[in-house]
């Protein structure tokens, strides 16, 4: 079997999904190959615009090899100007290389005129016309080398930025290797399949769609006998030295779903994804084994929110390498000694979904967060030396402009403890319980859209929210200073290295 991680996604770390699937197959003595087409494809595409006429692109092409090396050096992350130039120049090379095909390609995104990732018709056309994809010249040469002796191909589709190229790859495989079995899974596919009234439009090009964890369906498809065996992700099948980070970043998921699962308007809740944790003792044992095997510079915990049980386990039994991940603001982190224990265990950064600095908004969103508690948590993390990547969400039905100003006041009040900020404008899940209560409107043109527009009950619509953010929130000198620290394009994936620098 060949497992493919398609373009485009961030290339700071190896893909966790295909590595875990490969580990499960290996545990059952089933041969497989893993192909990070995202990393290899982006590196290939960066080499294409060397003859470009504009000064920026010529300079970027000349410095390409140096920029790639720069992003793999720890000292770069202590020099913001050097880091930003490397990232922006490499992104420029991708943007120019994709132009001829009408595509805007970047280190973190992909768009192509005439091919919407939320339209099944457009994705099927991408499969029917793979030669129109900017990666076609590369993957049409590379895939035949990898498919020799392969019976089943699995593709992991997690982000909208991967969708068009995923279907172009599938279309090429269908044209050149019609006898192969094609399996498509991943987070985005799971979201599609779990929509109410889902209809499979891809039966003509995809043999099997897999929703949720893919280990058991793949094992069954390949005829593995007996129950699924515990298995470590097979990261050794990937080019670990080639990712664009200063050392190996090891992604690890200790749970699917969210242990809190009560937030209003949460996509996880709208899709009905259950919480499936690995026992903390097993997670720690796996992490220790992976650390001993690969010696990562950083562990990235992928859980939607690391559970209190696992946080305490990490504090008691450090995994052996620096780590970061999402956590909920709760009473556990009000214990200053516990925060210091997390720091000693290797925690360098926590991502915290505060969403709002107004208590009424938090209550209406069922966040289970107290603003006073949030302030104490931020101060404890600051004292412990743990960086904070804060996430704020504007324009929910629960919020008004005055509420948003209280969020600004909260950020200003806790500016010493908030290292980085992510500002997002709210998208209404199309099939959540609350969507029908707010008068929905088309959001994306396409039958696969997971979100819908809505009429805000207080007139605080997306236009008004964006105006507030651009004219008031981001212009505040405290907020502007925090935002300037954010690594462009790689954002939270590189933020722990910036914070540690």
Q: Please identify, among 155, 187, 221, the residue that sits at the C-terminal boundary of a domain.
A: 221
Provide the pLDDT for residue 438. Answer: 65
Give the CATH number of the domain where residue 393 resides: 3.80.30.20
Q: Dmax of the chain from CA atoms?
A: 63
Strand residue runs (E) in 267-386? 276-277, 298-301, 323-327, 347-355
421's tokens: 């900020």
Provide the pLDDT for residue 260. Answer: 73
Domain shared by 417 and 274, yes or no: yes
320 occurs within a structural domain: yes
Q: Tell me: the pLDDT tens digits for 436-485?
A: 666 566 656 789 998 888 889 889 999 999 999 999 999 999 999 999 99
Distances (CA, A) of 489 to 88, 106, 325: 9, 9, 18
Domain shared by 489 and 343, yes or no: yes
324's tokens: 């970061």
CA distance 49 to 45: 8
pTM of the complete model: 0.95
Element of type H or E holding 477? helix 477-484
467 occurs within a structural domain: yes
43's tokens: 């590196």
19 occurs within a structural domain: yes
Distances (CA, A) of 417 to 27, 74, 174, 352, 383: 44, 24, 53, 12, 8
242 occurs within a structural domain: no
226 occurs within a structural domain: no
Q: Please identify, among 221, 236, 265, the residue that sits at the C-terminal boundary of a domain.
A: 221
234 occurs within a structural domain: no
Domain shared by 202 and 262, yes or no: no
Domain shared by 167 and 21, yes or no: yes
DSSP helix/strand/coil, 306: coil
230 occurs within a structural domain: no
Domain shared by 336 and 379, yes or no: yes
How far, in whole angstroms, is CA 375 from its chain's centroid?
27
Domain shared by 185 and 277, yes or no: no
Domain shared by 198 and 310, yes or no: no
Q: Tell me: the pLDDT tens digits for 58-110?
A: 999 999 999 999 999 999 999 999 999 999 999 999 999 999 999 999 999 99
* pLDDT, mean of residues 279-307: 96
**Which of residues 45 and 256 earns the better pLDDT score?**
45
Provide the pLDDT for residue 298. Answer: 98
Domain shared by 281 and 316, yes or no: yes
CA distance 313 to 350: 16
Q: Which residues pair with 2 in a beta bridge?
A: 33, 153
Domain shared by 304 and 160, yes or no: no
Q: Are strands 255-256 and 276-277 parallel, antiparallel or unpaired?
A: antiparallel
CA distance 469 to 446: 28
Provide the pLDDT for residue 272. Answer: 66
DSSP helix/strand/coil, 103: strand
CA distance 82 to 323: 25
Range of the domain at 86: 2-221
Domain shared by 304 and 206, yes or no: no
237 occurs within a structural domain: no
The CB density around residue 213, as the number of other CB atoms within 10 Å, is: 18
In sequence order, what are the residues at sequence separation of 6 or more whose Cβ sits closer than 8 angstroms to the Cβ of residue 363? none
Q: Please identify, among 168, 203, 221, the residue that sits at the C-terminal boundary of a domain.
A: 221
Domain shared by 395 and 452, yes or no: yes
Element of type H or E holding 374? helix 371-384
Domain shared by 269 and 122, yes or no: no
How many domains are there within the chain?
2
67's tokens: 């920029």
Whether residue 302 is predicted with pLDDT greater than 70 in this model: the reply is yes
């Amino acid at each position: 079997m060949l497992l493919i991680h398609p373009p485009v996604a961030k290339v700071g770390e190896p893909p966790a999904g295909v590595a875990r699937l490969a580990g499960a197959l290996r545990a059952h003595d089933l041969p497989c190959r893993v192909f990070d087409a995202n990393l290899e494809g982006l590196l290939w595409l960066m080499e294409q615009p060397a003859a470009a006429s504009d000064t920026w692109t010529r300079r970027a092409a000349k410095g390409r090899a140096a920029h790639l090396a720069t992003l793999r050096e720890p000292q770069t992350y202590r020099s913001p100007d050097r880091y930003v130039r490397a990232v922006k120049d490499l992104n420029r090379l991708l943007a120019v290389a994709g132009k001829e095909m009408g595509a805007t390609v970047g280190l973190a995104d992909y768009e192509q005129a005439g091919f919407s990732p939320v339209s099944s018709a457009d994705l099927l056309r991408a499969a029917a016309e793979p030669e129109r994809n900017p990666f076609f010249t590369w993957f049409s040469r590379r895939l035949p080398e990898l498919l020799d002796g392969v019976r089943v191909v699995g593709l992991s589709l997690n982000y909208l930025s991967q969708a068009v190229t995923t279907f172009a790859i599938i279309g090429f495989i269908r044209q050149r290797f019609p006898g192969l079995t094609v399996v498509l899974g991943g987070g985005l596919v799971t979201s599609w399949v779990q929509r109410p009234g889902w209809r499979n439009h891809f039966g003509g090009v995809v043999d099997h769609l897999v929703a949720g964890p893919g280990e058991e369906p793949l094992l069954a498809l390949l005829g593995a006998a007996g129950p699924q065996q515990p298995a470590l992700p097979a990261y050794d099948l990937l080019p670990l030295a080639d990712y664009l980070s200063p050392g190996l970043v090891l992604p690890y998921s200790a749970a699917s779903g969210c242990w809190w699962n009560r937030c209003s308007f949460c996509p996880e809740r709208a899709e009905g994804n259950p919480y499936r944790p690995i026992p903390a003792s097993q997670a720690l044992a796996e992490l220790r084994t992976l650390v001993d095997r690969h010696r990562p510079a950083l562990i990235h915990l992928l859980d939607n929110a690391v559970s209190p049980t696992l946080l305490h386990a990490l504090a008691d039994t450090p995994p052996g390498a620096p780590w970061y991940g999402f956590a909920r603001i709760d009473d556990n982190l009000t214990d200053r000694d516990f925060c210091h224990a997390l720091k000693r265990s290797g925690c360098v950064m926590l991502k915290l979904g505060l969403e709002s600095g107004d208590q009424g908004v938090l209550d209406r969103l069922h966040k289970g967060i107290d603003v006073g508690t949030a302030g104490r948590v931020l101060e404890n993390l600051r004292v412990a030396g743990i960086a904070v990547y804060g996430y704020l969400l504007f324009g929910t039905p629960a919020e008004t402009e005055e509420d948003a100003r209280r969020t600004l006041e909260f950020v200003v009040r806790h500016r010493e403890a908030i290292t980085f900020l992510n500002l997002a404008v709210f998208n209404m899940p199309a099939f959540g319980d609350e969507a029908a209560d707010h008068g929905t409107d088309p959001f994306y043109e396409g039958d696969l859209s997971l979100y819908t527009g809505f009429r805000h009950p207080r007139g605080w619509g997306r236009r008004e929210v964006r105006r507030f953010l651009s004219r008031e929130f981001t212009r505040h000198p405290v907020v502007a200073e925090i935002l300037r620290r954010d690594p462009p394009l790689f954002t939270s994936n590189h933020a722990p290295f910036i914070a540690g620098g």
